[in-house]
Amino acid sequence: TCALPIYLNMEIFTIILVTIPVILAIYGVIRKQRNFVLWGYFIYGVIVLLAELNSYRLNHDFSHIYIAALYGVQAIIAFPNKMSYTGSKTMKSLAIKNWLSLMLINVIGIYVVNNNELPELFAYYHIILAIIPLIGMYFMATNKIPIEENN
């Protein structure tokens, strides 16, 4: 049998690992299910946070701490909760701020990927994760998000 070198196995594993939350977020947009979108962003944020902390541990480049903190913020913003989208002005305002924050974080992610030795595919994932908030804001502006009662 022909075994792949360990670094290729690890790269394939990493690509599969980060693909899952991106697919989850895309699925959430297609189904207009906010919690799937949030879980995708949350999991992606945690993955990047842990990867950057590990990179800092290995080479002590402090820029990894900045990136880890940024994706820690993404995980905090996206942490799914049981709060329903009620369509109130307060909820819309908060949602817009959250969407813009997630968009900005992932625009920075595009820059980080393009300026480091990371698979180009990751830049495309950040592009997708930067576009999804625009879709969310469009859905809000056109009242295409189902209004729910808080439980």
CA atoms in the 13 A half-sphere facing the CB of 121: 10
Supply the pTM of this predicted model. 0.88
The predicted-structure confidence for 39-97, as pLDDT tens digits, reads as follows: 999 999 999 999 999 999 999 999 999 999 999 999 999 998 877 767 788 888 888 99
Q: What is the Cα–Cα distance from 126 to 89, expressed in whole angstroms?
A: 29
Look at residue 8 in the predicted model and tell me its pLDDT: 65
Span of 30-39, 79-88, 133-142 with lowest mean pLDDT? 79-88
* 148 has pLDDT over 70: no
* pLDDT on residue 76: 97
Confidence of residue 150 (pLDDT cuts 50, 70, 90): low
Q: Which residue has the higher pLDDT, 22 or 83?
A: 22
Could you give the residue ranges of the DSSP H alpha helices within the chain? 6-31, 34-59, 63-78, 89-114, 120-141
Residues 6+ apart with CB under 8 A from 130: 103, 106, 107, 109, 110
What pLDDT score was predicted for residue 91? 83
**Is the distance from CB of 96 to CB of 120 less than 8 angstroms?**
no
Please provide the average confidence, as pLDDT, over all residues in the chain.
90
